[in-house]
Amino acid sequence: MVLGKKYFSESESSEKSSTSTSVKLEEFQEIVDELFLLNGVLNIGDWIPWLGFLDLQGYEKRMKALKKRLDRFRAHVLDEHMAKRKAMKDFEAKDMVDLLLELVDNPDLEVKLTYDNVKGFIQDLIAAGTDSSASTVEWAMSELLKQPNLMDKATEELDRVIGKTRWVSEKDIAQLPFLEAVIKETLRKHPVAVLLAPHLAIEDCNVNGYYIRKGTPVFVNAWSIARDPSVWDAPEEFRPERFLGKDKDFDIKGQRFEMLPFGSGRRMCPGYSLGMKMVSSTLANLLHGFSWKLGGSYQRNEDLDMDEAYGLATIRKFPLVAVMEPRLPVHLYDAF
């Protein structure tokens, strides 16, 4: 959606030579993982600046290496888009990069956009829009595999509402309250951004007796808010039922401060709508199209570990391993 085509397909990875400027799928995943990890690490030099030059943990060195790899990729994307614009007479913008490049050439903008800004924008969208939805789906599947009775409930709802003759489409989601409750409970227990994005106090203020000076970086701990036992009953337990009945329409877009999976206010996630659509459609179809069993060496489902790896996004420490089997008529899988 952002770049207009797949820059990192698996077939591409085997075709391209090592001197190519294109990025291989595995390399791209590595770049995103490293980006998220380095964004989330506690770098000693940030907190004790006079020790910064020593780069004691080696993070700055890794950041510089990552910047080089990202620059190579972003330059390749921009070059391709600019060449395409030059080559066509009546060029029409087709993707986000085309649109942004048009804005760079617009002399009437109140705030001028530079090529560097466009590169930043591309990175922001790719980094913020990929792992966030993917890891939410992985956490949801983990919780359902841990409690198969919940998986059965979700599947029963899908069979009842969708039937067994077709896949789930986006417009069906509103008819699947249990699925929606599973997603909300996943976002409560496993918010993608533990500390949201770093915010900044724009004026002096007082929060709950604490004086916060203008210019102070502020980190909102969304993870602990959503697990606060004074607000949530048995917060460590995964219970989608919390979001059924009277709390069916519980707001998760920043108006209920008991959980802030997308942040709140002007800096909240701008990809909320897209993110929710991707997570709901993906999870619904994974559950509808396949029956699932836990893989790996677990004796019992409830033993599945829920360890988190800390970074900018909170992903599973150990990837989920599961075995799937088709559960719909065989012709429905033809398209794949």
Binding residue numbers for heme: 269
Q: Does 129 bind ligand HEM (CB under 6 A)?
A: yes
260-271 burial code (b ≥16 CB/10 A, e <16): bbbbbeeebbeb
Q: How far is the CB of 272 from ligand HEM (least distance, A)?
A: 7
In this structure, the number of other CB atoms found within 10 A of the CB of residue 226 comes to: 22
Phi first, then psi, for residue 323 (nearest 5°) are -115, 130
Q: Does 112 bind ligand HEM (CB under 6 A)?
A: no
Nearer to ligand HEM (CB atom), residue 287 or residue 294: 287
Q: Does 200 bind ligand HEM (CB under 6 A)?
A: no
Nearer to ligand HEM (CB atom), residue 78 or residue 283: 283
Q: Does 262 bind ligand HEM (CB under 6 A)?
A: yes
DSSP 8-state assignment for residue 205: E
326 forms bridges with which residues in the sheet? 290
By CB atoms closer than 10 A (0-12, 13-18, 19+), residue 43 is middle
DSSP 8-state assignment for residue 106: -
Site string for ligand HEM, 143-182 (x = CB under 6 A): ----------------------------------------
- Contact segment (CB under 6 A) with ligand HEM among 143-151, 206-214, 237-245, 271-279 equals 271-279
242 close to 248: Cβ distance less than 8 angstroms: no
Q: How far is the CB of 298 from ligand HEM (least distance, A)?
A: 26
Q: Does 251 bind ligand HEM (CB under 6 A)?
A: no
Q: Does 133 bind ligand HEM (CB under 6 A)?
A: yes
Q: Does 314 bind ligand HEM (CB under 6 A)?
A: no
Q: Which spans in 147-271 are helix H?
A: 148-162, 177-189, 222-225
Which among 288, 327, 312, 329 is positioned nearest to 144, based on CA atoms?
A: 288
Where is the binding site, in residues? 269
Q: Does 275 bind ligand HEM (CB under 6 A)?
A: yes
Q: How far apart (Å, rounded) are the C-alpha atoms in residues 47 and 57? A: 13
- The residues that touch ligand HEM, with contacts defined as CB under 6 A, are 124-125, 128-129, 132-133, 136, 192-193, 196-197, 261-263, 267-271, 274-275, 279
